[in-house]
Chains A and B, each alone.
Chain A
Amino acid sequence: MIPLYDAAMIPVYICGIVALYAVIRIVTEKKTLKKLVFLNVMNFAITGLIVLSIPDIMALFAGIAYFVGSTLEANAIASTYAGGKTNE
């Protein structure tokens, strides 16, 4: 039986609910460039979930690698969509 809530798990609940909300906003958004802004919110929430799940120093590296990688991905998609060069 899952308990209703646990006071020590409230940051995890907040991160998960914000991630799900951001995904729903991405799926229902029309313009591509405004989707990227909501994708940034999802990246923040997922990074919080990664680090909160295991308090280990390698989890910190995994979270930073995920965040920087997804930011680079959003940068490349936005630059290519805007018509400029990919990596400038």
Chain B
Amino acid sequence: MNEFYIIILGLIAVLGVISVYIKKSPFDKLIGLAIMMGGVIPLIVLKGYLDVAILVAIIMPLTTIFILQATGRNTDES
């Protein structure tokens, strides 16, 4: 039963990384990072490390908010 999880989640993580690499706008890059974490966190849960998964899921939006506050407002046209 684990093959389906691994195929789907691996595809999601790889597509997120490709999206981060291709897109030009910084907001699109942040959305690509969100896709990548959405693929990685269920893989952590699948191995049984539930506390690590909770910690990563809490730290992920905090890093995004810090990046958004550091880089400022919407200045480029996407």
Question: Secondary structure at chain B's binding surface: helix, strand, loop or mixed?
Answer: helix
B34 & A70 in contact (Cβ 8 Å cutoff):
yes
Interface size class of B (residues with CB under 8 A): 35 or more
Give the docked Cα–Cα distance between A73 and B5 (Å). Answer: 25
A61 & B54 in contact (Cβ 8 Å cutoff):
yes
Chain A residues in 8 Å Cβ range of B50? 54, 56, 58-59, 61-62
* A-B contact number at CB 8 A: 124
CB distance from A11 to the nearest CB of B (A): 12
Interface residues of B in 46-78 (CB under 8 A from A): 46, 48, 50-51, 53-54, 57-58, 60-61, 64-65, 68-69, 73-74, 78
B45 & A73 in contact (Cβ 8 Å cutoff):
no
Chain B residues in 8 Å Cβ range of A23? 11-12, 15-16, 35
Chain A residues in 8 Å Cβ range of B25? 32
Chain A residues in 8 Å Cβ range of B61? 69-70, 72-73, 76
Interface residues of A in 1-50 (CB under 8 A from B): 2, 6, 9, 12-13, 16-17, 19-20, 23-24, 26-27, 32, 35-36, 39, 42-43, 46, 49-50
